[in-house]
Amino acid sequence: MSKQDGWCIMCHLQIKYDSSTDICINIKDVFIRGNGMNLAKRFETIIHILNYMYAEVIKTFIDHIRIIIKQCQDYNYINRDVKNFIEGKAHETYQNIKKKNSLIVYDNQPKFLLKENLKQYEAQQYKNMDLSHFLSDCLNEYYAETSKYLYKNLGFEKVLEFKKKGNFRIPIESNINQNKGINLINTITKESGWVSLKHINVEFNDQIISGDRILRDPVNKLNFHCKRLHIIRLIKCIYTEVIFKYNKYVCDILNLCGSDYTYFNLVRQFFDTIHKTDKMLDIMIRTLVSLNTLIGEYDHDSSHSNIKGLYSLITHLSKEIKFGNYSLDDLDSKSDVSKKEIARSYIKKFSDFRSKIFDNRLKVFHKKQCPSQNILSNIVIHEFPFLKNTDSVDNTRFTELMIEEIVLSFCNQLIEFSENVIKSFYEDLGLNKLN
């Protein structure tokens, strides 16, 4: 370790030889043989030095975050799981470490990092970046340097890599290939579709997750954990919104098909349509599985908001469409009355399934994902003027011809909607590269 050049950046530190004397030595002297220090004393001194430096890392974090918080007054709630942390645990931790590692009595290198960053921001007038974003980028650079100088360049990386071959084990997520995940995220976020998601803000666990935040900088080993969870959360939110809109279409069509004017061909049109939209559901299912496998997810949140829960909801719908036995082809030989009754029974069966699966679970899912802006604002959903902003269709006002016209239009729109979803939220986002 003493041969690593990382120790040179701490040559400004003066360390007390011991607590009973005022004699001070330099970090370089700690490694010199014959300085009167035994091995245990050298290790103790090195630990004090590292704790002191790591405490400064915490202090730099506090200094920057304090200014960032002042720029975030619009986020009052967040301002309060962050300000309490800064003024409480973080400040307390910093003071405790400084108190317990008091052998370092003088540091002749002034700490003007925050002042220098603020001066740089004012001097260069970053018109396209607010102060909080600028300081966040400064912190990213600072911690990248910290990882290099206070970990890698001190020899710890080599020590730990060597220890991995023995009994020492680093806690890792064994089911995730991190390098593969990093490359994958960096590849898909280069696709054109992500730009259209920059305006989206999703609230989750007291965080604001946005498309802009995901795209702000490339994925690396330092931010991989956050980036992958943000991407997963955003995609789940989008897919939940897709199913929510899909359900609205289906619900309106079912209300019309279940009217007194129900015709066999009208019901056939509906089931032909949902079979065509099943491609969208299959793609969403495969994507959720791939995200879980290739990027991974911590299932610390409830079943209503993790990948498995959303996967289960969409899978139930897809299975019902595929295997619910809604084929009308073998009924052509029956009388019109018989076909009409069977068609109505199919509509009731599918309607009961939709109500059971979606009415409660989907509302909970939609609330859990909690998008703060309209996720599907770039996909136009057409509605007839007299159906707009209604929870259900009052079909008693319409003639048979109007009902046929509306159902046909809604079915075409539902197919168009599913095709737009596949393009906008699968192909244009590069998610097809997951499968």
**Domain end call among 139, 170, 201:** 170
Highest mean pLDDT among 75-79, 223-227, 271-275: 271-275
Mean of pLDDT values over 403-418 = 88
Residue 188, in any domain of the structure: no
My answer on whether 85 and 140 are in the same domain is yes
Query: How many H-runs (helices) and E-runs (strands) does the chain carry?
Result: 16, 5
Same domain, 259 and 369: yes
371 and 241 Cβ atoms separated by less than 8 Å: yes
DSSP letter at 103?
A: T
Instruction: Answer yes or no: is 247 within a domain.
Output: yes
What is the tens place of the pLDDT at every residue in 86-96?
Answer: 777 788 888 88
Please tell me the distance from the alpha carbon of residue 13 to that of residue 56, in angstroms, as a whole number.
13
What pLDDT was estimated at residue 426? 92
Structure confidence by residue, pLDDT tens digits, 245-302 = 898 888 888 888 766 656 777 888 888 999 999 999 999 999 988 887 766 554 444 4
Residue 238 tokens, joined: 């989008």
Mean pLDDT value of segment 336-346:
79
- Check if the beta carbon of residue 251 is closer than 8 Å to that of residue 274: no
Is 178 part of a structural domain of the chain?
A: no
Q: 3-class DSSP state for residue 195?
A: helix
- Residue 190 located in a structural domain: no
Query: For 142-183, how does the pLDDT look when each residue is reduced to its tens digit (9 = 90+)?
Result: 888 888 888 888 887 777 665 455 544 433 444 457 788 888
Please return the burial class of 211, using the count of CB atoms within 10 Å of its CB with bins 0-12, 13-18 and 19+: buried
pTM higher than the cut 0.75 = no
Q: How does the average pLDDT of the chain come out, rounded?
A: 76
- Write out the two tokens for 220: 């690396």
State which residues form the domain around 99: 5-170
Residue 196: name the closest of 428, 418, 21 by CA: 428
What's the CA gap between 79 and 337, in Å, rounded? 65
* Domain annotation covers residue 351: yes
The answer, yes or no, to whether residue 76 has pLDDT greater than 70, is no
Are residue 240 and residue 144 in the same domain, yes or no?
no
Q: Are residues 166 and 226 in the same domain?
A: no
Is 209 part of a structural domain of the chain?
Answer: no
**pLDDT exceeds cutoff 50 at 384:** no
d(CA 245, CA 256): 17
Question: Do residues 155 and 281 both lie within one domain?
Answer: no
Nearest residue to 140 (alpha-carbon basis) of 50, 54, 230, 60: 60
Q: Answer positive or negative: Cα dihedral of 257, 263, 267, 269.
A: negative
Question: How far apart (Å, rounded) are the C-alpha atoms in residues 33 and 37?
Answer: 8
